[in-house]
Amino acid sequence: MKFERGKSGNPKGRPKGSLNLPEVRKLLAPHAHTLKAKLLELLSHSDPRVQLEAVKICMAYLWGKPLESIAHQGPEGIPATVRFEYVTRNPKKEE
């Protein structure tokens, strides 16, 4: 189906009775401690795929989800390694 300019892809809108984000947060708030404990438990799961998903969730909540992902390739299509360093500066020492 081709996109038609000026025509909504969702003419009926959100279904009645569906929850929005603030409502979902309100429902989950009483379970925050349990959810956090389960997430920490999954970080030491025996399956590395489960660990990776738990790490992704933790990072998304700590620093936010990345806005964009970019695939980097080195010579001959080999994936490139990217290294990030976080440097803390003391502005008083620089003066």
Which tens digit of pLDDT belongs to each residue from 31-42?
989 988 999 999
Is residue 87 over pLDDT 80?
no
Which among 94, 66, 93, 61 has a CA at the least distance from the CA of 84? Answer: 66
Domain ranges within the chain, ordered by starting residue: 21-94
Rounded distance between C-alpha atoms, residue 81 and residue 95, angstroms: 35
CA distances from 71 to 31, 52, 55, 65, 74 (A): 37, 19, 20, 16, 10
Confidence at residue 19, expressed as pLDDT on a 0 to 100 scale: 87
Higher pLDDT, 81 or 46: 46
Rounded distance between C-alpha atoms, residue 70 and residue 79, angstroms: 11
Question: Residues 41-79: pLDDT tens digits?
Answer: 999 999 999 999 999 888 888 877 776 666 667 777 777
